[in-house]
Amino acid sequence: MKSIWYFVGLLLITMGAIITASGLYGLMVPPAEPKVLASLHPDLWWGIFMLAFGLVFARLNRKKVVR
């Protein structure tokens, strides 16, 4: 059985990629009603962080097996 940490990595990669893409779109096409502190682009940086965290988790645990 694959380790749970591997699955956590996969989920964070998927969600991180979606949020990063959304952040990039927001950078190019700013929303009509920006949120407070929108100038910091929290979606973009947080999406990239989730993506990186997920990649590290999935990579480190891809061969780990629970018996």
Looking at 6, 28, 32, 35, which residue binds other proteins (CB under 8 A)? 35
Asked whether position 11 contacts other proteins by CB under 8 A, the answer is: yes
Asked whether position 51 contacts other proteins by CB under 8 A, the answer is: no
Task: Confirm if 51 and 17 have CB atoms less than 8 A apart.
Answer: yes
How many whole angstroms separate alpha carbon 9 and alpha carbon 13?
Answer: 6
Q: What angle do CA 45, 49, 55 make, to 5 degrees?
A: 145
* DSSP helix/strand/coil, 34: coil
Q: Residue count at the site for other proteins (CB under 8 A)? A: 29
Query: Which residues here bind other proteins, judged by CB under 8 A?
Result: 1-2, 4, 7-8, 10-12, 14-15, 18-19, 22-23, 26, 31, 34-38, 40, 42-43, 46-47, 50, 66-67
